[in-house]
Structure 1
Amino acid sequence: MSDNRSSRIDEYLPTQGLLYFDEQLKYVISKPKIMPLKSLTLEKLETLQNEAQDKLKQQEKLGVDLQ
């Protein structure tokens, strides 16, 4: 029982003087966020444009005049 008491450290709070806490800031590094190269609206516009070009090419192959 006396061995346990000798290994324990008692707290000591001073009654005179200054007591302060020095805070150290630590950086938190997070994983990089994966951003899409193209937005969804841009992808939709590109697909619509490609579909319109494909329809135009098909109509030109059939010989249909748009005017």
Structure 2
Amino acid sequence: MADVKSVFWEVLPKQGELSVEDVTTTVLCKPKLLPLKSLTLEKLEKMHQAAQDTVHQQKMAEEEKQEKAH
């Protein structure tokens, strides 16, 4: 790589004290909350629950038919 010359140059005082005024402070920002479950996982769980409900309803309907037949 070619050496890039900086536009800025360092200036140090020849007399007196050198002081640095950069003070680090804590900066507060909004917390980044991550969902415990992803949207895809929630959709899969809903689909699974719907399938279980359908199977349960079918079993109940079959049991009712058997009870009526006896």
Using the size of structure 1 for normalisation, the TM-score is 0.56
* Partner residue in 2 for 1:37: 36
Once the two structures are TM-superposed, the CA of residue 15 in structure 1 deviates from its matched residue by 6.3
Q: Which runs of 4+ in 1 moved over 6 A?
A: none
Report the number of matched residues: 51
**Structure 1 unaligned spans of 5+:** 1-13
Helix, strand or coil at the partner of 2:60: helix
* Partner residue in 1 for 2:3: none
Superposition CA RMSD, Å: 2.4
**Structure 2 unaligned spans of 5+:** 1-12, 64-70
Please give the alpha-carbon distance, in whole angstroms, between the structure 2 residues aligned to 1:57 and 1:18. Answer: 83
Out of 47-56 and 22-31, give the one that drifted further. Answer: 22-31
Using the size of structure 2 for normalisation, the TM-score is 0.54
Helix, strand or coil at the partner of 1:35: coil
